Structure 1
Amino acid sequence: MAIFVRLLIFSLLAIVAWRLLTVDVDSVEARDISAEHDIVFFTAPWCGYCDQARDYLDDQGVDYLEVDVEASTANNRQFQEVNGRGVPLIFIGETRMAGFSPQAYGRALERIQ
């Protein structure tokens, strides 16, 4: 029993230390997103359409903030605050789009340039 308690305490301390030492560079408040960035792109690592959208944005040479919704609870909270239901979800200026369409992305990019 004493070994179990020691392992449990050690595990809890390790988790707390990991959370305190982990820096999430994408963590910004959802209300600040549009004020700080013209393009905010919510993604997930397994998302093929996210890869296509990222390639498109990179080919266009535009700067964007990418928020991996699975990287942290803060990122997922941002996604929920903007009523995210699936990825990719992108905000280009005032335009909100779910999914990926090069034509739709292109039209939205024209409006902010």
Structure 2
Amino acid sequence: MNNITVYTTNTCPYCTMLKNFLDDKGIAYKEINVQQNPIEAQKLVDATGQMGVPQSNVNGHWVLGFDPNSVIAHLK
């Protein structure tokens, strides 16, 4: 089972592209909207040093931006 978390904001077109990509592939993920959740936003910065979105954690590997190839590479 894959463990995927996608960090997003309301206004990020690449976030939508990433979610659509995962949905199209039938890949389940958890979404955390850092715009609505400042505590999670701070955890994200602490973990990666980055505030940009989308960021995804795919089975423990961080993927920055809309990077389908990296997401696929970390799937089980």
Same fold (TM over 0.5): yes
**What is the TM-score with the length of structure 1 in the denominator?**
0.58
1:64 has 2:4 as partner: no
Structure 2 gaps, min length 5: none
Instruction: Count how many residue pairs are aligned between Structure 1 and Structure 2.
Output: 74
Richer in helix (by share): 1
* In structure 1, distance between residues paired with 2:69 and 2:4: 16
Fraction of identical pairs, as percent: 26
Structure 1 gaps, min length 5: 1-36
Contact 2:8/2:33 (8 A) holds in 1: yes
Secondary structure, aligned partner of 2:57: strand
Of 55, 67, 71, which aligns to 2:20? Answer: 55
4+ residue runs over 3 A deviation:
none
RMSD across aligned positions (CA): 1.7
State the structure with bigger RCO (CA 8 A, min sep 6), 1 or 2. Answer: 2
**What is the TM-score with the length of structure 2 in the denominator?**
0.82
